[in-house]
Structure 1
Amino acid sequence: MVVGHNDLLCVGSFAGSDLVLLSSVLIVVDAWLWSKEECHNSKVRLSFNRTTAAESFFLSPKHFLQRSLWCFVFGFWTLMFFEIVLMLLFAFWFVVAAFALQSDCGSLLSGFGFDIRLSLGCGAQWINMTTRPQFVLFGSSIVQFNHYGEGWGATLAHLYARKADIVLRGYASWNSRRALQVVDNLFPKNSISEPPALVIVYFGGNDSLLPHPSGLGPHVPIEEYIENMRNIANHLKTHSEKTRLIFLSTPPVNEGQIMGNIDEFGRAKRSNATRRIYSEACLKICKELNIKAIDLWSAIQKREDWKDVCFIDGVHFSAEGSKIVSKEILRVIKEEWETSLYWKTMPVEFGEDSPYDPVHPDGTSTVNVSNVPFPEDEDWEWE
C-alpha cells in the first residue's frame, strides 16, 4: 500500500468542494422554504399555479438574507470540521508510515500483508523511502564520470543490482570547500528518510591544483583541505550510526598525458608531488577519525604500466584504472562488513523461486537466476 501526502490532499480538496456545493444548495433551498413559510404566515394569497417560483422566492428579501447568512455560517463550520478530521487522518498515516519504515525490524505492518512506503514533498526536494539500502558516491569528477567506459561506479551498480541502490552525487571540478557547503543538504541530520548504508567520499584532486595568481579556481590550501575533510567526515559520522564510510585518497596522474597542464611559467598545474601531499593528508585524517580509507595513490602505482593504461586523459580513470578502484572498494567492504554490505551476501530483492523462472533442463523445475552474476565466467574478485 502506497501512502502519499498528495493522495490525502486530493481527498481533502474533493471533500471540501462537495461541502461547499452542498452548503450552497442548502442556502438556496432553505431560503426558498423560509420565504414560502413567511408568505403563508402573512396570509398572502397567491396561487402557486399563477405565481412562478422566482416570484415566491423573492417575496421576503430580508428573511432570505437572514436565512442565507445562517446557512453559510453553518456550512462553513461544517466544512472546517471535516477538514480538521482529514488533517488528523493524514497526520496519523504519516506517523504510522514513518515509524514502520524506520523500525530496525522492518515494517511493523508487514506481518499483516502491508508494505507502507511514504513519499513526501519537502520544498523543491523529494524524499523517497524504500527498503533497499543506498550506497551514496560523493565527490568530484572522479565520481561524476565513474559510469563511463566500464567505470568503477558502473561496476558497483552492476554487482549490487537488486541489492542496493547506487546513488551518484558527483560534481565535476568541485573541491572540499564546495563539498562542505552542501554536505548538510545532501545528508541532513534531521531527515526522516532512511540514512544511506554506505557513503564513499572523494575530494582532493582539484584542491591540489596549482593556485591561480588571481585567487580564482579550485585550489584549496592543504591546511584548509585538512579541516574541510575533517568536518565532512565528522558530519557524516554523526549523520547516522548505521552509515558506513569509505574515503578515497588523491590518486596520481599522468602529467605528460594531460592537455594544457603547463602554465605560462612552465609549472605543472597538476603535479604528482602535490597530489601525494593531499593523499597522505586524507589518509591521516581517516586514521585519526577511525574511518576506512583507500590509498589510491599507492594502489594505482602498483602496476608498472599505470601511466599508460589507467587514465583516459591523464586524470580520469580508464576501464583498467576503474578496475583497481572497484577492487579496492570491494576488498574493504568484504573485510569490514561482509555479512551486511558485501554484494555476494546481501539479500536479493524479490529473489524467491517462481514457476515463471527459466525452465530447468530436467523439465520438471525452474532455475532461480536472481543472484547469478553476469557474465557467469567473470571473476569479480579480480584476485
Structure 2
Amino acid sequence: MAKSYNQVVLFGDSLLQQSSAVQDGFSFQGALQDYCIRRLDVVNRGFSGYTTKNALQILSEIFPPFCESGPRIEYLVVLFGANDAALPIPTNTQGIPIEQYMENLTKIITHERIKAHNPKILLVTPPPLDEIRLTKRDLEYGHKQVTRHAAVSAAYSQAARDVAGKVSGVVLVDLQKGIMDKAISMTPDFDASGPPLGYPEGGKRGALETLLPDGLHLNGDAYKVFFELVKPHIGPFPDSSEDLVFPDWRAMNPGSL
C-alpha cells in the first residue's frame, strides 16, 4: 500500500487562497510547506470571496469521509470573516449577520467530516481593515459607498475569538492583533489615545498602507506576521529525520557520511 503524507489544510477565503502567491519575496504557504517538508503536505483550500455560509455549502465536497488508508488532516487552519463582515448594501450581498457568522464558524470547526480526522484546529481572526484605503478602492470599483467598515470588521474578529474560546481544543490565532501590533510598531507617530489605524475618524493609515495594500488583503510582510503566529502551533519537528514519511537518504545508503 502506498504511503501518504498527512495534511495541514488551509480553509478560508481569499486571504488563504492568495497565501500561495509570492508577495514581496515571501509566500505564506511556501514557508509553511518548507517548515513541514517530508512530514506533512500543506493543502490550500482558500476560496476568494467566500463567506462562512458558502463554506458550509461545499464543506462535504472538500473534506471526504475519513479513510484509514488515506491522508489524515493533522492541522486545520480556518480563516473566514472578511467577507462575512461586508455591509448590507445593494451592490454587495456577501454580508452575514454576526450571530450567524459565529454559528457558521462553530458548525465548520465541529463538522463531522472534520471531527473524524481529529485535527488540531487553528481558528484565525479576520485581519484589521484599512477603511480609508478600501473606501477609495470600492468607489473606483463602482460601489456607491464603502463595502466594509473597520469597526465592523473588528467586531467580527472579536466574534472569532469568542468562538475559539467556546469550542474545546480550538487554538486562537489572533491575526487582527498581530497585524495591528506590527502596523503600530512601524508607525512612530501613532497616538494610542486616538482612533485605530485605518479608521476614517482618525484619518491615519500608518503602516497599514503597506501591510494592507488594497485595504483588505495582506502583503508579504503581513503574511510573515501570519506565519510566525501559526508556526508555533504546528509541530515542533525534531532536528533528526526520525519522523520523516520516507527515510533519510543516509538510511537508504548505509555507510554514507
TM-score by length of 1: 0.53
Question: C-alpha separation between the residues in 1 aligned to 2:237 and 2:219?
Answer: 23
Unaligned stretches of 5+ in structure 2?
A: 187-206
- Amino acid paired to 1:156: L
- Within the alignment, does 1:342 sit opposite 2:231 as a pair? no
Given that residues 189 and 239 in structure 1 are in contact (C-alpha distance below 8 angstroms), is that contact kept between their aligned partners in structure 2? no
Change (3 A) 1:284 1:355: closer
Is residue 66–residue 113 contact of structure 2 (8 Å, CA) maintained in 1? no
Q: Displacement of 1:321 after TM fit?
A: 0.3
Aligned residue type for 1:325: F
1:199 aligns with 2:76: yes
Whether the aligned pair in 2 keeps the contact of 1:200 and 1:245 (CA below 8 Å) is: yes
User: In the TM superposition, what whole-angstrom CA distance separates every residue of 1:296-341 from its partner, at most 9, and x where no partner exists?
Assistant: 11111112234133223222211110110000001233xxxxxxx3
Instruction: Tell me if 1:185 matches 2:77.
Output: no
User: Matched residues in 1 for 2:100 and 2:10: separation?
Assistant: 23
Q: Which amino acid aligns with 2:172?
A: A
Of Structure 1 and Structure 2, the greater helix share is in 1
Residues 1:249 and 1:236: Cα distance change in structure 2 (over 3 Å): farther
1:299 aligns with 2:178: yes
Distance 2:113 2:154 in 1: 26
Q: 1:261 is paired with a residue of what secondary structure?
A: helix
- Structure-2 change in CA distance of 1:242 and 1:224 (3 Å): closer
Change (3 A) 1:163 1:273: same
Tell me, what secondary structure is at the counterpart of 2:172?
A: strand
Distance 1:309 1:332 in 2: 27
Q: 2:9 aligns with which of 122, 131, 136?
A: 136
Does the CA contact (< 8 Å) of 1:175 and 1:207 recur in 2? yes
Alignment of 1:114-129 (within 5 A): 116-117=1-2
1:173-216 Cα distance to aligned partner (Å, 9 max, x none): 000001011112222345453321111011000010111237x5
Tell me the secondary structure at the aligned position of residue 37 of structure 2. coil
- Name the SS for the 1:353 alignment partner: helix
> Aligned match of 1:250 in 126, 131, 135?
126
What is the CA–CA distance in structure 2 between the aligned matches of 1:250 and 1:355, rounded to whole Å? 45
Task: Report the equivalent of 1:351.
Answer: 248
Q: Aligned pair in 2 of structure 1 residues 236, 146: CA closer, same or farther (>3 Å)?
A: farther
CA RMSD of the aligned region, Å? 2.5
Alpha-carbon separation, structure 1, partners of 2:112 and 2:29? 20
SS at match of 2:137: coil
Confirm or deny: 8 A CA contact 1:247 1:292 kept in the other structure: yes
Provide, for residues 245-301 of structure 1, a one-character-per-residue CA deviation record: whole Å limited to 9, x for no partner: 10111111222333533542xx43122101111111111011100211111111111
Contact 2:66 2:72 in 1 (8 A): no
2:189 alignment partner in structure 1: none
| Cα distance change, pair 350–301 in 1 and its aligned pair in 2 (3 A) | same
CA distance in 2, matches of 1:288, 1:236: 18
Partners of 2:86 and 2:39 in 1: how far apart?
38
C-alpha spacing 1:231/1:351, structure 2 compared with 1 (3 Å):
same
**Which residue is equivalent to 1:154?**
30
> Aligned residue for 1:33?
none
In structure 1, the partner of 2:155 is 277
- Report the structure number with the largest CA radius of gyration: 1
- Confirm or deny: 8 A CA contact 1:208 1:278 kept in the other structure: yes
1:302 is paired with a residue of what secondary structure? helix
- Aligned partners of 2:9, 2:252: CA distance in 1, in Å? 35
Q: Which has the higher contact order (CA 8 A, sep 6+)?
A: 2
Counterpart of 1:308?
209
Identical counterparts, % of pairs: 23
Structure-1 separation of matches of 2:54 and 2:149: 22
Structure 2 CA distance for aligned equivalents of residues 343 and 179 of structure 1: 31
1:320 paired residue number: 221
* Residue 131 of structure 1, CA deviation: 3.2
Partner amino acid for 1:274?
A: V
For the 8 Å contact 1:188–1:239, the answer to whether it is kept is: no
2:166 matches 1:288: yes
Residues in 2 aligned to 1:182 and 1:321: alpha-carbon distance in whole angstroms? 28
Aligned length: 223
**97, 120, 129: which one aligns with 1:221:** 97
CA distance in 2, matches of 1:197, 1:355: 27
Q: Contact 2:72/2:117 (CA < 8 Å) preserved in 1?
A: no
Distance 1:343 1:236 in 2: 28
CA distance in 2, matches of 1:238, 1:317: 27
SS at match of 2:162: helix
- Matching residue's letter, 1:181: Q
